[in-house]
Structure 1
């Protein structure tokens, strides 16, 4: 995705919507003595009901949106992932799938279709979706499924009391609001947002970090240099909660990120926070709030540790490319037809992006956290990099 020197101007209705988001942010700032932590700003910009990026009606995914996820590129991603999900379901009595944040619904569609081919359908496919707008899109996508598959799909508004099967989270953790912490001269500051009244804009404003946040940064940041990065206790809390309710089975997290040593590398001294708008990357989260996705990479070491605190075992960790290869993505590609056929060429182009180190193959990782022993792990048969966590 190109880094934008400038961005295409939004249409007037989009600009009006962004101003409504900015007004909500300003109201939150005024109600909190003139300052909110960046984590609160990110929450409002992404998830404020009816206003935030994921809550309002604009297209997010695909060519007409701001970014593209693997399921939007090709159904072969879901078909390969189904091989690992099948192995998890076979080891669990409940055989249910719970997908967190199902996007357009394409991954659910492709997983169900591939599992049906394998005679490995789940007892139910539950989607936890907090965005009413995205839930409507998912319903439209999944309406096209055959009746016996569609009947297994249901939507949840909260996590269930127990999960017996497979949890799937594709590009979910990166959208959870993060705390930004900066260390300057040995002191720790939480980055936040205030209103620049002279300019009439939102602006960065820092305050001394609370003790708990400073302690967390101190434990993870490299020593003896000024440094800025993200911490995501909310994502870690979600993983711990999933661990508490997962009675049998395993959770699969697919996202872009690193283990802690790479995430908090001394040379990555400005963190990983970026914004996506119209398939361009930019670094100004205050530009047109509500119109850009705001995201940070995932610290998979912290996610793994959260799972372990909840009693889960780290069953595997690998880059996306070897994971998909282990799950037979090239065999699925070969089955499409003749290599010179248009269908094959289109699918091959998408698979190349999923596997290429220059695209998604290396930056994206797959982490498996398991409650149940004895699960087969084809996705980690090529490579297992748990030692990097």
Structure 2
């Protein structure tokens, strides 16, 4: 039984760059595919299923299609695209972890490597350090990339052809020992939308509006129905939230963390680092955030309508880091740390790496300093982005405890 139908008319509210005719045609194909799925499921699919198709439908989804996604020509910019100092910092931290933790094998595994820029910067920095005699751990035996997008994998293979140790995987290995890196991975996993209704919690799904024309698919609409209690269990003090409170829950990302735990527990030792934007649960579900965090990115424009041009825009939600940490602990991993991205990168030595370029050389130094500022400034990525570190038979260097916020999770 549907509890309500909500129309979202983006055409009257958004003023975004026009897509090419070819891109619009691809978007219409994805719209038709999703509409077929909705009809097959008797008029309703969960928002998580809708988001999964938007992002990952073969050949048509945002990440599985051929459109540019990263950098100035794409829809958003990530830390590796801003500056190679990000990857260089993780390269030195990886070396430090491998040297100090005998249980870790000299291997790196990266989830969702995007353009391949982060892997390129890490491997370049490691090779430079080895050549200079500054790397006691040497080059990693293997750099694994778990990548579901064939289009992104092709870009990565071109970018990383100088590094024969890179290997691509379609799924998580059964066991892994080494260093795991996930930069803006958790936010790309489908979420469920839930709404506090007059009579209890509702799950918001997606249906089709009637057009009155046989064989013609209408626009996507929200349709609410009673939510399963398991979906609401992630929200602390859920019953204290007011009627109309809309938010996300993260069953897919929680499942991923459980799978990660199984993989790392089967290995000898590992540290997994996740960089992403989000909050602990106590902040995520504040009343002031009563319309949730779901956001869409199209050509560097942010807006809230996930029905706009399916397949041509990124759809994402902030991460509930409390839920991620709890899932890791449930799967047998240790919580090694949780901090702001700014504090983590500064403790990891990004400032020292910047100073390899003399400040007196303003032409070379200032662009790098400005890029670093974007990563660590509280007004940019430094505070909104967090770093969650989990692992087994390993720990972070002691200095990372200086700014640890694990008590807030």
Give the TM-score, by structure 2 length.
0.89
Contact 2:234 2:323 in 1 (8 A): no
Alignment map for 1:1-389 (pairs within 5 Å): 6-90=15-99, 91=101, 92-116=103-127, 117=129, 118-119=134-135, 120=137, 121-143=139-161, 145=162, 150-198=163-211, 200-217=218-235, 219=236, 221=238, 223-226=240-243, 227-246=245-264, 247=267, 248-376=269-397, 378=399, 380-389=400-409
Q: Confirm or deny: 8 A CA contact 1:249 1:370 kept in the other structure.
A: yes
- How many Å separate the matches in 2 of 1:185 and 1:176? 29
Quick one: distance in 2 between partners of 1:355 and 1:33?
Answer: 48
1:180 match: secondary structure? strand
Residue 126 of structure 1 and its aligned partner are, at CA, apart by 0.4
The secondary structure found in structure 2 opposite 1:267 is: helix
Give secondary structure in 1 for the equivalent of 2:403. coil
Moved over 4 A (4+): none
Count of paired positions:
379
Higher gyration radius (CA): 2
Return 5+ residue gaps in structure 2 as ranges.
1-12, 213-217
- CA separation of 1:137/1:108 partners in 2, compared to 1, >3 Å: closer, same or farther? same
Specify the SS of the correspondent of 1:51.
coil
Q: In the TM superposition, what whole-angstrom CA distance separates every residue of 1:44-98 from its partner, at most 9, and x where no partner exists?
A: 0000010100000000000000000000010000111223222332213422111
Q: Deviations over 1:187-214 (max 9, x none)?
A: 1111011111138211111111123224
| SS of 1:163 mapped into structure 2 | coil
RMSD of aligned alpha carbons = 1.6
Distance apart, 1:346 and its partner CA: 1.3
Would the alpha carbon gap of residues 140 and 220 (structure 1) be closer, same or farther in structure 2, given more than 3 Å must change? farther
Q: Distance in 2 between matches of 1:224 and 1:67?
A: 32
Q: Kindly state the Cα deviation for residue 220 of structure 1 after the two structures are TM-superposed.
A: 5.3
Shift of 1:151: 1.8
